[in-house]
Amino acid sequence: MVYATYEAVAEAATTLLSQDKEPTLNDIRDVLGGGSLNTIAKHLRTFREGRGEAEARLPPTFVNEFSVAAAAENLLLGGKKPTIEAVRKELGTGSKRTISPLLEKWHARTNRAAKRAALEVPKELRESSTQLIGRLWCLALEHVRDRDEATRRSLGYAERDLKEARRAHNKFVKDTEREIGLRDAYIADLEKRLEMKEKT
């Protein structure tokens, strides 16, 4: 029968940890090739206490979605990033292979919740933004009305100026036509006199 000494259990536990495996009683017993589970448990407890892991270590079966989520949230609350290694340390147990998919689920769920929260607008903000939009709409309408009124006034002035310009143009055209008529008559009279003078 194999006798499990503290040194043998500690060496087996260290070997398993270096392989990213949680040192369980059965795994250590397999590494040792036998031994009493009670003795291995006693030495493993002492080994963990020596590493500051007494009571902090959870049984491997405790590593589940809920325990990983709780550990990740505890890390976040403590201002730390919930990495696989950090969660493993927080739990005090679990392999990277076990923790990784559970942590990914937690990240996905947290990201979805954050996106939903970002999309959901609080009632107070919705109400105040609705009031603000209404007020902005009223201000925009007032601005348009004022601008339309100013435009109408400007158009009125422009129309008046255009009428005055047309009147002035029409007067100029009539005066010019009258002047041309007078000149034509004067030229015709001169031509007639010249013709008569030539005949005499």
Q: What is the pLDDT of residue 54?
A: 41
Same domain, 79 and 39: no
Choice among 50-59, 125-134, 150-159, 163-172 with the minimum mean pLDDT: 50-59
Same-domain pairing of 47 and 88:
no
Same domain, 47 and 70: no
**In this structure, are 51 and 66 located in the same domain?**
no
60 has pLDDT over 60: no
Query: In this structure, is residue 189 part of a structural domain?
Result: no
- The answer to the question of residue 29 being in a domain is yes
Asked if residue 27 has pLDDT above 90, the reply is no
Closest CA to 48 of 58, 35, 61, 38: 58
Is the model's pTM score more than 0.75?
no
Per the domain annotation, does 182 fall within a domain?
A: no
- How far apart CA 128 and CA 17 sit, in angstroms, is 57
Last residue of a domain, one of 119, 136, 158: 119
- Measured CA to CA, the distance from residue 74 to residue 72 in angstroms comes to 5
Does the pLDDT value for residue 62 go beyond 80? no
Instruction: Please count the structural domains in the chain.
Output: 2
Asked if residue 50 belongs to a domain, the reply is yes
**Where does a domain end: 119, 141, 164?**
119
User: How much is the pLDDT for 180?
Assistant: 92
Whether residue 3 sits in one domain with residue 53: yes
Assess whether pLDDT exceeds 60 at residue 152. Answer: yes
pLDDT per residue as tens digits for the range 70-111: 788 878 777 889 999 998 888 888 888 989 999 998 888 888
In a domain, 193, yes or no: no
Range of the domain at 103: 62-119
Q: What is the mean pLDDT of the chain?
A: 82
Same domain, 7 and 50: yes
Question: Is there a single domain that holds both residue 48 and residue 72?
Answer: no
Give domain status of residue 15, yes or no. yes
Residues 113 and 77 in one domain: yes
Residue 6 lies in a domain: yes
Please tell me which residue, 192 or 114, carries the higher pLDDT value: 192
Residue 93 lies in a domain: yes
